[in-house]
Chain A
Amino acid sequence: MSTLTDMRRDMNARMFKQQRNMWIAVALVLGCLPLFYGGSDFALTVSIQIGMMIIFSLAYNMLLGQGGMLSFGMAVYFGMGGFLSMHFMNMIEADTVWLPMALLPVVGAFIGLVLGLIIGSFSTRKAGTIFAMISLGIGELVAASSLIFVKFFGGEEGVTGDRTMGPEMFGVDFASELEVYYLVAAWVFIATLLMFLFSRTPVGRMANAVRDNPERAEFVGYSQRFVRLISFAGAGLFSGLAGSLFAITYEIVTEETLNAVTSGAPLIMVMIGGAGYFIGPIIGAIFYTLLSTVLSNYTEIWLMYVGIIFVLTIMYLPAGLTGLLLMHNPIIKAKKLKRILPVYGKIALPVIGIFLGIVGLLEVGHYAHNASAGDMTMSLFFVSVDTSSYLPWIFFTGILVGGFMLAKKQAPSVAETYEEVHKEALGGGDK
C-alpha cells in the first residue's frame, strides 16, 4: 500500500516538474517575443490583440469546452468589463480613486465576476438550447441598451480615457506600445495559469462531469446548477479581464465591444482551435487574430473566408486544428512521420488547387462586382488578371473542380495510410 502511495507521489512530483518547466517556457516565450519583431509596431499591435483574444477565448471555453454551455452573449462580460474599466480609468485620471493602471484589469475581472454571478444565477439552470437562447437574449438586451443609455456608454462615439495617468508602478507609465505589450503578456500569463489550474481543481473536473452526464453528477452529490454557475462566473471574470485589457490598449471602448460580432468571435476561435483541449482556444485565438489583422490588409472579403473556414471546421474537423495536430502525436512519438508525409504530399496538391480555385473565384468575382467602371485588371497572387474576360473564371473553376475530383479520389487511400501508421505507432508504443 505504501509503495503505491509512494509511486503516486513520485508521479505527481514528476508531472509537477514537467508542468512547471512548461510554464517557465511559456513565460520566457512571452517575455522574449518582442525581441524578434525588430521594432515592428504592427507585430506588437497584433501580439497584444492575440493576447486579449487568448484570455477571452479561454474564458469562453470554460463554458463551451469544459462545461458544455454554448453562449451567444459573451460580449456582455467583455464589454461591461471594458466600459467600467474605462470609467474607472477616468476616475483615476480625476484622482477620485487611487489605483496603478497595471492593476486596472482586476476591476474588469471583478465586474465580470459579479455580472456572471447575477446572470448565471438564473441562466445556468439548464445547459443546452435554453441556455444558448438566454445568453442570446441577454446579449441583445445589453447591446440594445448601450445605444439608449448614452451617458454611460457614450453613444456611438464610445468612452475614451488616458492610460498614462495615475500612480506609476516601477516607473512604467504605458506611454509606449512595448510597455502595453508587457502588461498584456503578464496578464495573459496569469490568466492562462489560473484557468489551467481551475480546470484541474475538483470543481473544474466536475464541470466536465456535468457536461457529459448531469444526472449522474447529481447522484454523486454535486448540484449541476452550482457547478455550472461556478464555471459561468469564472468565464465572466476572465472575459471582464480581457475587456479591461481592451480598454487599456485602445483607450476607447465603444458599443461594438457589446455587439453580436464580439459575442461570436470567441465561439469561432474556440471551434476552429478545438474546444476539447485546453490549448485549443489559444491556437484558435492566434489563428483568428492573424486572419483578421493580416488577411484584412489583402482582401475586403476576409470575413467570408473566416465563415468558410468555420463551417468547414465544424463539418470535417469537429476537434478543431488542435485535434488535427494531436492526431499525429503517437505517430511522431513512434518516429513514423516519414511514412505518412509522402501520402500527405500527394493530396496536398489537389487541396491547394481547391483552395486557389475558391479564393480565385471569390476575389475575381468581388473585383468584377465592385471595381469602378472600366477598371478590369486586378492583381491576384502577384499576377495581373483581366476580369472582363472569361479566362480567369474558366481557369479557377477548372482547378477547383479538378482539385476536388483528385482529392476525392485520393482521400480514401490517405485515410487508410493514416489508420495503418497510427495503429502501428500505437502498437509499437505498447511494446
Chain B
Amino acid sequence: MIETTIFSLLNGLVYGLLLFMLSSGLTLIFSMMGVLNFAHASFYMLGAYFAYEMSIHIGFWPALILAPIAVGFAGAALERYGLRNVHKYGHVAELVFTFGIAFLIEEVVQFIWGKDQQPYNAPPLLDFPLFTLFNVDFPAYKAFMLFVSIAIFIALLVVLTKTRVGLIIQAAITHPHMVGMLGHNVPLVFMATFGVGTALAGIAGVIAAPVLGTYPGMAFDLGSIIFVVVVFGGLGSLAGAFVASLMIGIVQTFAVSFNIGMPDLLALLGLEFGADHFLVDLWTISLPQIGPLIPYLMLIIMLIFRPLGLFGSREV
C-alpha cells in the first residue's frame, strides 16, 4: 500500500506538472486575448512530432531546444496570419477557428507521419532506473521530466513577476487598451505571448511524448483534460491552473493505481448481484475503469456549485 502511495504521488506530480506546462500557456493566452485556444494541445502534439523527427537526425538534446522554438514560431504565425484576422468576427468565431486549426493540424500530422504511433523514445542517457523502492523502479526519465517542469515553472514565475516584460504582460492581461496608450505595441505582445504559450506546449510535447506516446490522437486525448484543468482552476487564473493541474494529475494517477471498485464495496455491504443483470457494468465497475471520467465529473460538479472555478474571478 505504502509503495503504491509513494509512486502514485510521484507519478501524479510528474503528470500534474506536465498538465501545468500546457495549462499555463493556455491561461496566459486566454487572459490576454480572451480566446480559449482550442488548438493548444495540437501544438503539444507538434512539439512531440518535431522532436521525434529531429531526434532521428540530430539527436534528442538539440531537439529538446529546437522543437519548442519551431512550435513557438508556428504558434506566433497562427496568431499573426490567422487569429488576428478572425478577431473582428467575435469570440465564438475565434474559438471555432482554433477548433478548425486543431482539426487541420491533426490531419496534417496524419498526412506527414501516418496514423500509427511513432517510435519516439527517451534518450539512452536517461534510460535507467533512478532508484528502486520496494522492488519498483523509478525511471530517471521521469525525474528529468519533473526537473524540467519545475525549472519551467520557476522561470515563468520569475519572468512574470520580476522582469519588465512580465510587468507589461501582466498589465496587458487586465488593461490592454491602457498598455497600448502607454506606447507599447500590444499586437506584438499578443503575438509574442501566443508564441511563448505554444512553445511551452511544445516543450511539454517534447518531454512527455516518450512516456505518453506519439500518435495523431494525442492532442485530443490530452487537450480535453487541459480544458478541464483551466476551467476547474478558474479561467484566466495562473494559480488556479497550477492547483487544478496538480489535483487532477494526482487524482488520475491514484485512480489508475488503486484497484478497488463496486464489488469490494458490495462485498463489504454483503450484497450480491447476478452477472446478467442489465446494470451489471455498474455493479462490477472499478476505480481504474472510471479513472478517465473523474476529471469531467470534477468539472461538472465544480461548475454546478462554483461556475467561476477554484480561483476564477471573471465571468466568461
Contacts and interface: CB of A to CB of B under 8 A. Distances in A.
Interface of A: 64, 68, 70, 72, 122-123, 125-126, 128-130, 132-134, 136-138, 140-141, 144-145, 148-152, 260, 264, 267, 271, 301, 303-304, 307-308, 310-311, 314-315, 318, 362, 365-366, 369-370
A366 B231 CA distance: 39
Contacts of A303: 107
**Chain A contact residues, majority secondary structure:** helix
Nearest to A122: B304
Contacts of B290: 148
Contact of A134 (B292, B297, B299): B299
B227 to A, nearest CB: 5
A92 to B, nearest CB: 17
Interface stretch (B95-103, B121-129, B182-190, B240-248): B95-103
B96 A304 contact: no
B279 interface: yes
Contacts of B235: 129-130
Contacts of B96: 70, 267, 271, 314
Contacts of A264: 99, 103
Given A129-B95, A141-B296, 7 more contacts: A128-B91, A130-B307, A130-B316, A134-B231, A148-B285, A307-B103, A311-B82
A364 B36 CA distance: 36
B211 interface: no
A423 to B, nearest CB: 23
Nearest to A150: B281
A148 B284 CA distance: 10
A138 B93 CA distance: 22
A126 B292 CA distance: 26
A154 B92 CA distance: 36
B37 to A, nearest CB: 11
Contact of A149 (B107, B282, B299): B282
Contact of B292 (A144, A310, A362, A365): A144
12 contacts: A122-B304, A126-B307, A128-B91, A130-B307, A133-B36, A134-B300, A137-B231, A148-B293, A260-B220, A307-B103, A307-B107, A315-B85
B63 to A, nearest CB: 22
A70 B92 contact: yes
A271 B100 CA distance: 10
B274 to A, nearest CB: 12
A241 B27 CA distance: 38
A151 B100 contact: no
Contacts of A72: 99
A138 B296 contact: yes
B100 A311 contact: yes
Contact of B95 (A70, A137, A150, A370): A70
Contacts of B315: 126
A140 B303 contact: no
A144 B296 contact: yes
A130 B281 contact: no
B231 A133 contact: yes
B209 to A, nearest CB: 21
Contact of B316 (A122, A128, A141, A314): A128
A148 B299 contact: no
B111 interface: yes
Nearest to B35: A129
A137 to B, nearest CB: 5
B33 to A, nearest CB: 12
B34 to A, nearest CB: 8
Interface in B211-236: 220, 224, 227-228, 231, 235
B289 interface: yes
B104 A311 contact: yes
A315 B290 CA distance: 40
A150 B278 CA distance: 10
A150 B275 CA distance: 13
Interface residues of B, number: 46
Given A129-B235, A141-B296, A304-B107, A311 B95 contact: no
Contacts of A140: 224, 296
B111 A304 contact: yes
The 3 closest A-B pairs by CB, nearest first: A141-B296, A307-B104, A311-B100
B89 interface: yes
A129 B281 contact: no
B6 interface: no
B103 A310 contact: yes
Contacts of A271: 96
A314 B285 contact: no
Contacts of A152: 278, 281
Contacts of B112: 369
B92 A68 contact: yes
A343 to B, nearest CB: 24
A137 B224 contact: yes
B85 to A, nearest CB: 6
B86 interface: yes
B300 A129 contact: no
B280 interface: yes
A126 B95 contact: no
B28 to A, nearest CB: 15
A162 to B, nearest CB: 20
A114 B33 CA distance: 37
B64 to A, nearest CB: 27
B303 A311 contact: no
B210 to A, nearest CB: 25
A307 B315 CA distance: 32
Contact of B279 (A151, A315, A370): A151
A154 to B, nearest CB: 11
B108 interface: yes
Contacts of B101: 311
Contacts of B316: 126, 128-130
Contact of A318 (B89, B111, B293): B89
Contacts of A70: 92, 95-96
Interface in B266-289: 278-282, 285, 289
A134 B36 CA distance: 13
Q: Which of A132, A134, A264, A365 has the largest number of chain B CB atoms within 10 A?
A: A132
A149 B95 CA distance: 32
Contact of A315 (B97, B99, B282, B289): B97
Contact of B281 (A136, A151, A267): A151
A84 B125 CA distance: 54
Contacts of A129: 36, 91, 95, 235, 316
A26 B212 CA distance: 52
Contact of A141 (B82, B93, B279, B293): B293
